[in-house]
Amino acid sequence: MKISVIGVGYVGLATAAVLAELGNDIMAADVDEEKIKCLNQGIMPIFEPGLKEMVERNVRENRLKFVSDNKKVIGHGDVIFICVGTPPKYNWETELKYVEDVAVEIAKNMKSYKVIVHKSTVPVETGDKIKKIIKESVEEDVDFDVVSNPEFLREGTAIEDTLHPDRIVMGSDSKKAIEIMKKIYDPINAPLIITSVKSAELIKHASNAFLATKISFINSVARICELSGADVEEVAEGMGYDKRVSKHFLNAGIGYGGFCFPKDSQAFIKIAENLGYDYKLLKATNEINDDQKRIFVDKVKKALGHVNGKNIAVLGLSFKPDTDDMRFAPSVYIIGKLLEKGAKIKAYDPVAMDKAKNILSNVSFCKDPYEASKGADALLILTEWNEFKEMDLKKVKSLLKSPLIIDGRNIYDLSAMEKGGFRYISIGRKDV
């Protein structure tokens, strides 16, 4: 099937690559001409396991093309996926300008029936807005349908999540459009959830809000564990065996980051507010998440007595492993606060340092964890990369000025830390 993708950011690029892998004829466009030039040279704008190889394979086999001409891409596809950015405004409302601009472009350039799919995370009622814009802007008497097909990609596993999703959500009032969408996704073995456009739009925000709430819930339990002497990992394990709860997203730490959870939870609060509902639960979720970063900084200050003039090693900068995404990463807040207090920071991340250098100043970036550890008064774990779990801890201890590890992701076993002679502070567990 001929399919067009407008916007090759994180969602658009993964969507285009996977749809091409499924055998479709894909043309993807972006207004960023430098990004398109790089993609045509095999240079990826993001780090995502398996993405580069998939893009290169499908470009080579002529199933995937990248252009910077939206008019050309609109003419190519019978189905058009809108994957442009929906960043937050200053008040956390979702900025729909780019979606609206694309809707106008589609209206002015389509010459035949199109299925127009909005895949970006958008507020409920956006589908109605897209339909209204196209009807008002269309220059020829051309039929079209609008479908909401929200993405549920996790950074670091985007290819796997697209090829093997938990479910595929399609929202439309058109049977014709739904049948076309079913054909696109037919090679993927996953439950199809067919809904109205509005329900599909809400499913994405509601899903992310629930997962954010689950993370904040276990972090609030971690605080009670620390105050009472219980172990949050034992508590989470006991909870996780209950099928109604499940073990997923019950990992205590320094809170969620990335672009989706912070942005989408704030946007959902604003959506509810505009509809006349005060979403107190989600507000509390965000407050707890913010508290986790502040609490971690306090742990560091308490452990060292003060941080002024102290050398602190930081391992992990991206908001989660297997991505170079620094957006809303807890590391940015934590490092910033420690620098304000006079600390000297040496940092290492397996893939995110190039992006971190554009965000963090007065930080020494190191070639590996051992260079960062050398002479440090404390070692902080801020991202749970496997590389850090597999470090030579004897070597780390010999390099540290003081054998102090403050772990914001609970990646080490308490007894192993005790046997290794470390002073070890984590989240929701006893200090060693």
Kindly list the catalytic residues: 260
Sheet order of strands, 64-67 included: 64-67, 25-29, 2-6, 79-82, 114-118, 144-148, 168-171, 192-195
Please give the single-letter amino acid code of residue 44.
M
Cβ–Cβ < 8 Å for 191, 183: no
Taking CB atoms within 8 Å and a gap of at least 24, the contacts of 301-304 are 301/341, 303/378, 303/404, 303/406, 303/423, 303/425, 304/377, 304/378, 304/404
378: left (phi over 0), alpha (psi -120 to 50) or beta: beta
List phi, psi (to 5°) of 406. -115, 110
The kind and range of the H/E element at 82 are strand 79-82
- Amino acid at the residue 114: K
DSSP string for residues in 294-358: HHHHHHHHHHHS--TT-EEEEE--SSSTT----TT-HHHHHHHHHHHTT-EEEEE-SS-HHHHHT
Q: How many CB atoms lie within 10 A of CB 397?
A: 16
The answer to whether the beta carbons of residues 92 and 266 sit under 8 Å apart is yes
Q: Which amino acid is it at 25?
A: D
Separation CA 107–CA 109 (nearest Å): 6
- How far is Cα 328 from Cα 359, in angstroms, rounded to an integer? 11
